[in-house]
Amino acid sequence: MEAALTTGGDPSEPDAGDELAALVARAGRGEEAAWERLVHLYARRVYALAQSRLRRPDLAEEITQSVFVTVATKLKDQQYAEVGRFESWLFRVAMNRVRDTARAMKRHADPLEPGVIASIADTSTPATTGDDLSDEIGSLRLALATLGDADREVIELRHHARMGFKDIAELLGEPVGTVLARHHRALRKLRGVLESDTTQDGDAS
């Protein structure tokens, strides 16, 4: 299940510790190569986070660009002090944009009857193509929608943004133990939804 939660390929891993701090400092001084490296390291992860929640490639792309404009401006104006928390700071900016956009989408969404929602869920499930991974991803997308916002955020930050638990805890302002417990609980809920769906599919066949 966790293999399907992370999609879109794996870019190079971020430089750790002092190397990342030096990269951020160089980007803040206007070094184009350093900035390009930061974008290479994090842009796809920010996009994956936004796309997971919004299911709109155009909005995910817009948020990704907006996040990096904000980061570039704050680095240039020395509004960010590097203390080993760049990743959690970056994804806090991204998550705030995602939350704001999701709320705006809810406010402007037309109300749907339960039967209509059910029909959308049915047609959103990928048709059987023999590609088990594609089927699993489609099922996971529907299962993620059943989670509460708090549980879903932990899953998205861990498996789409590919953040470590320490950085997630820093971003959310919670102890690492609490984040680990929420992640475990969310995975258990997802597993229960997926197993229930599998059972229903078996009964229907």
- ∠14-19-21 over CA atoms, to 5°? 95
The tens digit of pLDDT for each residue in 81-97 reads 877 789 999 999 999 99
Cα three-residue angle 62-63-64, rounded to 5 degrees:
90
Instruction: Give pLDDT tens digits for 140-176.
Output: 777 788 888 888 899 899 988 999 999 999 999 999 9
200 closest CA partner among 129, 142, 159? 142
